[in-house]
């Protein structure tokens, strides 16, 4: 299990353990994290699992590319540190990852 810290839209921080191999989106949905909608179930086709990656973590997980970057154009207020959480696979290297969930989803 890998500890992921989700910051919900109202600023509430929730640290939860997510199984390796699952996505950051799945970790949010299965733990009742508020603000991650994930309408398409992880198919990279809805942009409602958008979150901002916490400082310094973008170097570890990398920026969005390809289909994910295209889909992020439909996300609410995308920034340089925006990612679709269904496209981030949880690995040991992400222990302590912090993601900030926006006020609105697409």
By CB under 6 A, name the binding residues for ligand FES: 25, 38-40, 42-49, 71, 84, 86
Phi and psi at residue 83, in whole multiples of 5°?
A: -140, 155
Q: At which residue do the structure tokens 């809805």 appear?
A: 46
> Quick one: 35 or 56, whose CB is closer to ligand FES?
35
Shortest Cβ 47–ligand FES spacing (Å): 5
Phi and psi at residue 29, in whole multiples of 5°?
A: -65, -45
Shortest Cβ 106–ligand FES spacing (Å): 9
> Quick one: 38 or 97, whose CB is closer to ligand FES?
38
CB-based contact 1:94 (threshold 8 Å): no
Shortest Cβ 100–ligand FES spacing (Å): 16
Q: Rounded to an integer, what distance in angstroms lies between the CA atom of residue 25 and that of residue 16?
A: 12
Q: Rounded to an integer, what distance in angstroms lies between the CA atom of residue 96 and that of residue 71?
A: 26
Which of 73, 78, 71, 70 minimizes the C-alpha distance to 104?
Answer: 78
> Quick one: 31 or 45, whose CB is closer to ligand FES?
45
Shortest Cβ 20–ligand FES spacing (Å): 19
> Quick one: 25 or 33, whose CB is closer to ligand FES?
25
């Amino acid at each position: 299990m890998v500890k992921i810290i989700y910051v919900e839209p109202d600023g509430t921080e929730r640290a939860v353990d997510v199984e390796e191999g699952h996505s950051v989106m799945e970790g949010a949905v299965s733990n009742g994290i508020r603000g991650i909608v994930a309408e398409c179930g992880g198919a990279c086709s809805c942009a409602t699992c958008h979150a901002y990656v916490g400082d310094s973590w973008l170097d570890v997980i990398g920026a969005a590319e390809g289909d994910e970057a295209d889909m992020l154009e439909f996300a609410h207020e995308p920034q340089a540190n925006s990612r679709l959480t269904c496209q981030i696979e949880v690995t040991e290297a992400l222990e302590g990852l912090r993601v900030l969930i926006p006020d609105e989803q697409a």
